[in-house]
């Protein structure tokens, strides 16, 4: 419980109307880590990410990020602190161009020269986005939209990125490509909290993992240990 934890969540409770979706969870993410949350559909993974980024309110508990209390903070202020959220289903602005989407990612920044450097970086690493920068994001393929969603979050120059199901609905080839991009983002100094259906890949890429079942954390540990854990194998890795 030292002070240098980048993100710490303590005794978090979240309700959806009458439904007690998150029932008192604790977890932490340290700087430069990749941490993954695994769990079945409806376990509460997306709810946790939405609560951290301020899209839904917490009922009880505390969320701290780099010394700031996020618990009752509005979503747009959370983003300003350096925490970017890539939502499930990508949510690119489909009626806006690829370039405009990336500009929206940098909405809170004022350092114009650094913004264009970061834009160049994204276009160098993701040349398909560069080719299509004048096209509306809605015309991109699913994989390209996911790249754009991650690139857009990167444009905020975040300290930490929350990634929600980044490979959902993508072909195996693209899944590999997206995971390479996630690793690259992490190498650029961005701490990552990853929610992923593909538990095997998520455990392979991450340092640590938490296992979530119906709103409670039931296990946690180093990802390489969880990969060999019989219970995790049975429940999430297809035996």
Partner 1 sequence: MDIFILQLINGLSLGSIYALVALGYSMVYGIVKLINFAHGDIIMVSCFTMYTAMEIAGLPLLVSIPLTLILTAVLGIIIEKLAYDRLISKGVERISLLITAIGVSIFLQSTFQLIFKADSLRYQAFLPSKTISLFGIEPSLKSVVTIIVSLVLMLALTLFVKLTKVGKAMRAASEDASAAKLMGINTSNVVAFTFAIGSLLAAVAGILYFESYPRIEPYMGGMLGLKAFVAAVIGGIGSIPGAMAGGLILGVAEAMTVSIGLSSYSDAVVFGILIIMLVLKPSGLFGKNIREKV
By CB under 8 A, name the binding residues for partner 1: 53-55, 74-77, 79-80, 84-85, 87-89, 91-96, 100, 103-105, 107-108, 152-153, 156
Cβ distance to partner 1 smaller for residue 104 or 237: 104
3-state helix, strand, coil in the chain (%, to 5): 40, 25, 35
DSSP H stretches of helix in the chain: 45-52, 75-80, 98-105, 112-125, 127-131, 142-154, 172-187, 199-205, 223-227, 230-236
Q: Are 216 and 23 in contact (CB under 8 A)?
A: yes
Q: What is the Cα–Cα distance from 18 to 15, expressed in whole angstroms?
A: 6
Minimum separation from the CB atom of position 156 to partner 1 (A): 7
Minimum separation from the CB atom of position 151 to partner 1 (A): 13
Cβ distance to partner 1 smaller for residue 106 or 181: 106
Cβ distance to partner 1 smaller for residue 108 or 220: 108
Cβ distance to partner 1 smaller for residue 89 or 189: 89
Minimum separation from the CB atom of position 93 to partner 1 (A): 5
Minimum separation from the CB atom of position 75 to partner 1 (A): 4
User: What radius of gyration, in Å, describes the C-alpha atoms of the chain?
Assistant: 17
């Amino acid at each position: 419980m030292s002070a240098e934890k980048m993100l710490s969540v303590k005794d978090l409770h979240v309700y959806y109307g009458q439904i007690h979706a998150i029932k008192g969870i604790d977890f932490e993410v340290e700087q430069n880590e990749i941490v993954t949350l695994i769990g079945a559909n409806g376990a509460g993974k997306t709810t946790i990410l939405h609560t951290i980024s301020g899209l839904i309110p917490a009922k009880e508990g505390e969320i701290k990020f780099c010394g700031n209390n996020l618990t009752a903070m509005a979503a747009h202020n959370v983003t300003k602190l350096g925490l970017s959220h890539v939502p499930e289903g990508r949510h690119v602005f489909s009626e806006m161009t690829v370039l405009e989407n990336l500009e929206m990612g940098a909405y809170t920044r004022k350092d114009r020269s650094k913004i264009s450097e970061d834009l160049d970086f994204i276009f160098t690493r993701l040349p398909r986005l560069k080719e299509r920068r004048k096209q509306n994001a809605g015309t991109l393929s699913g994989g390209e939209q996911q790249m754009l969603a991650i690139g857009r979050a990167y444009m905020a120059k975040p300290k930490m990125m929350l990634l929600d199901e980044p490979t959902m609905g993508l072909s195996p080839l693209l899944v590999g490509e997206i995971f390479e991009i996630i690793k690259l983002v992490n190498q650029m100094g961005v701490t990552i909290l990853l929610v992923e259906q593909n538990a095997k890949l998520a455990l392979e890429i991450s340092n640590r993992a938490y296992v979530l079942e119906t709103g409670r954390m039931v296990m946690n540990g180093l990802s390489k240990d969880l990969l060999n854990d019989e219970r995790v194998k049975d429940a999430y890795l297809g035996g």
